[in-house]
Structure 1
């Protein structure tokens, strides 16, 4: 675990927050020296360069891509930390040299630069690139398919973020989730799928030392329009990474660290005993059972109806930063939901934005106790 304990030495502090654009990322990466090679592999809908970083000259080829969805930047930060680790020349040189001799690592830090700039899931044509694996209707999809065909990688890493709504039946949030995608509707365990499952099991063993109970398995329903499923169909072991929420970590800096730890474990920098296939299936499946905030035991309206209010943040790009705008997501019995923050109204009659009535979709500025005007919630962003 020595390398993981040294994480602060290769954490890239110049890249923080949720809003990452291609210009910003590559202005940092281009300072990392000659160990890496940066090349243009295509352009986006808006003509923005899509670039790939290559490290090593070994036989085993690993292809990774991040920000296929432009507003999912946590894994991009993690791969930047990984690249910084591999290109620094002060520590762990023997391990790095061995890796670079035995592996060639290809990383596309931002596959969807237009979406990254606009902070949208889709590309500039409004298309979800992770539903375009068969049609290949978009230039970014064609770039990824072409690179994969040309490189013939031994392993693919599909790097994403997941929303704060995911958690487990235990009441813990899903900080990191993985998936070995299905290769067919029956979800058979093919050779490539098994290989990815074992890799995931080994990463999970390492992460258990840091976030036990917060590691999960994503839904494996088959969809051949999804890139991971399509690559798995082609016999290429593919791992889906989903960077989720750690408690209070809305900027995803803690989760970024755990994704980087996972990558280091996967690439052989963290010693671990070989996990069995059972360990993969023992990972709990993600559930949509979390909200950002729940106000419990409140009463609303003239009839003083007892209820609960669930609030979810909308991520909005404003002047180059992401604001978290609270909106009412659910009203009613929320006993089956957990929250990243729970507020107790103690049966008080409440006013939302100074009004007795509230509705789903409403932005929330304040929630106050009508009787004594005490503040139960205020949006400070």
Structure 2
């Protein structure tokens, strides 16, 4: 059986979509209680548990955490795909046994359960936990810092989602991005940074086989308030994972698969364990650019402009009940030749208007757009795409 066949049949189907909370993962933690060492290592500001999953018995200690930003859930799904893979008994068994005997992996699947519940980046006190590394003002930050001090990991995995605005000079979206955070203002190449770079190069080498030209490198400007920079400065190799956009996969179900493969590669379960890795190849990975929008309408006529323009539309993610609704917002007007759209349509110099005939301005939320001449719909929000 090929790995992608296994994944297609066996990924953790109990988790799907963008809205993942502690209530979603608790049944899985209960399911795995006899297979993995699962404990509660702290509480959130609102008193929700912060769980910790321990895997393996090896000397190489790794600490990973997801949903530090509550609305960034793709890596949480991928981590549970990884847990399911490690727990199966018939595929890649030798590699799995080697992993379990070589590594002790600690996973915090949701560091910010309050933010996850309300689908926000910040925690219950409106604090960005990834800017609280120095102040340690929040219970969640203190919990992570305490584990870091107690476990003394040699590698940390700081796992996030990135917005669909990021693309690469390949002309493709940044579906997966990595960062070896800076350890100081001068971005010195410390031994910890170089180790993180080597691990990233290894993952990139594998991912290029399945998403060529879609792996990026995140900006490495130093920020002492960020957790990754702080841990790297402390001499512990730290890797930032950024799960991004793939084609029209707004639920991030394909991207989770690529993160899953990256994890298997990182831990030498797949890929060439003996390949020669040069940390300097890290700098050959294209740096993320903010050059994408969800939708771009080309050659549009509007009453306030003398000539045809382009209109960029970006989705805003809004929690409605227990579902995420993607609300289209006008992001930019003008000559957007240097931007790409995940979906594009040439309006061919026709005049457009909204259902309510509202003025089209930056920041306007829209639901439907019509061709003013024949009133045919050119954009329909519920489909998360353009139709004609």
3-state SS of 2:308 partner: strand
CA distance in 1, matches of 2:305, 2:24: 54
Alignment gaps of 5+ in structure 2: 384-388
Equivalenced residues, count: 381
Contact kept in structure 1, 2:52 and 2:106, CA below 8 Å: yes
Q: Structure 1 residues 61, 294: closer, same or farther in 2, change over 3 A?
A: same
1:23 maps to what in 2? 23
5 Å-filtered alignment, 1:240-251, equals 240-251=240-251
Q: CA deviation at 1:356?
A: 6.5
3-state SS of 1:355 partner: coil
Q: CA deviation at 1:7?
A: 1.9
Could you tell which deviates more after superposition, 119-128 or 335-344? 335-344
**1:183 and 2:183 matched:** yes
3-state SS of 2:68 partner: coil
1:204 maps to what in 2? 204
Contact kept in structure 2, 1:202 and 1:274, CA below 8 Å: no
Q: Structure 1 residues 72, 8: closer, same or farther in 2, change over 3 A?
A: same
**1:86 and 2:90 matched:** no
Deviations 1:141-167 (A, max 9, x none): 000000010000010000000000000
CA distance in 2, matches of 1:4, 1:318: 33
CA distance in 2, matches of 1:86, 1:23: 23
CA distance in 2, matches of 1:127, 1:28: 28
Could you tell which deviates more after superposition, 365-374 or 106-115? 365-374
Q: CA deviation at 1:276?
A: 1.5
Deviations 1:200-238 (A, max 9, x none): 001000001100000010000000100000000000000
TM-score when scaled to structure 2? 0.95
1:67 maps to what in 2? 67
3-state SS of 1:163 partner: coil
2:281 maps to what in 1? 279
Q: Structure 1 residues 357, 57: closer, same or farther in 2, change over 3 A?
A: same
Q: CA deviation at 1:29?
A: 2.9
5 Å-filtered alignment, 1:98-137, equals 98-137=98-137
CA distance in 2, matches of 1:91, 1:337: 43
CA distance in 2, matches of 1:5, 1:266: 20
5 Å-filtered alignment, 1:140-289, equals 140-272=140-272, 273-289=275-291
**1:325 and 2:327 matched:** yes
1:367 maps to what in 2? 369
Deviations 1:152-206 (A, max 9, x none): 0010000000000000123210000000000000001000000000000010000
Could you tell which deviates more after superposition, 304-313 or 224-233? 304-313
Q: CA deviation at 1:32?
A: 2.8
1:306 maps to what in 2? 308
Dislocated runs of 4+, deviation >6 Å: none
Contact kept in structure 1, 2:167 and 2:174, CA below 8 Å: yes
Alignment gaps of 5+ in structure 1: none
TM-score when scaled to structure 1? 0.97
Q: CA deviation at 1:100?
A: 1.2
3-state SS of 2:348 partner: coil
CA distance in 1, matches of 2:304, 2:41: 62
3-state SS of 1:81 partner: helix
3-state SS of 2:349 partner: coil
